[in-house]
Chain A
Amino acid sequence: GENVEQHPSTLSVQEGDSAVIKCTYSDSASNYFPWYKQELGKRPQLIIDIRSNVGEKKDQRIAVTLNKTAKHFSLHITETQPEDSAVYFCAASWAYKYIFGTGTRLKVLA
């Protein structure tokens, strides 16, 4: 069946360094790829998304890249700050259906 693999499961970086989280999807019909940030005990919040007709999108310190051929997409966070510490989920979507990755716990060390 359809699935989304996400790596790494945990990631620790020093404040100010960059963080990269990678996802791979299986269904070539996927055409929308959102990223969510979930802080402890809170709802997942959309932080950035990309559609299949775009290779890269950037919003301040956050960027997402998509390689449709390889079915890979990645989240890049630059100049990390302690408030970036959270669990990040990727998802692949088509026809209103979303498949989520297993999450990456990011810890930004001060």
Chain B
Amino acid sequence: EAEVAQSPRYKITEKSQAVAFWCDPISGHATLYWYRQILGQGPELLVQFQDESVVDDSQLPKDRFSAERLKGVDSTLKIQPAELGDSAMYLCASKSQQETQYFGPGTRLLVL
């Protein structure tokens, strides 16, 4: 069964450093989401892509976060500079035209 892939699985960085996360959605899934999940809470949407276009980035802190999906397939989420409060799980998800959304394993970020 096809799955959403993410890397790295874990990342430890110091504040003010730059970090980048990668996501490869299920083949053929046009919609891709990046979520942030703080421990004990539900996923919160950061950015949503439809193919290579951003559909919703209203909750993305654009002063430090950026996301791209240049060819409409895999995607990268970047944080520069990282802050202590960015420590969280970053989840990528994808979906086809049907409404079922599938999550990747996530990248757990710890900012020291």
Contacts and interface: CB of A to CB of B under 8 A. Distances in A.
Interface residues of B, number: 23
A50 to B, nearest CB: 11
Interface of A: 4, 6, 32, 34, 36, 42-46, 49, 51, 89, 91, 93, 96-98, 100-103
A34 B40 CA distance: 19
Contacts, number: 50
B44 A100 contact: yes
B28 to A, nearest CB: 16
16 contacts: A4-B42, A6-B42, A42-B105, A43-B103, A43-B106, A91-B42, A93-B99, A97-B45, A97-B56, A98-B33, A98-B101, A100-B43, A101-B42, A102-B41, A103-B40, A103-B41
B17 to A, nearest CB: 24
B104 interface: yes
A49 B100 contact: yes
Interface string B68-112: 000000000000000000000001000100011111111000000
B95 A96 contact: yes
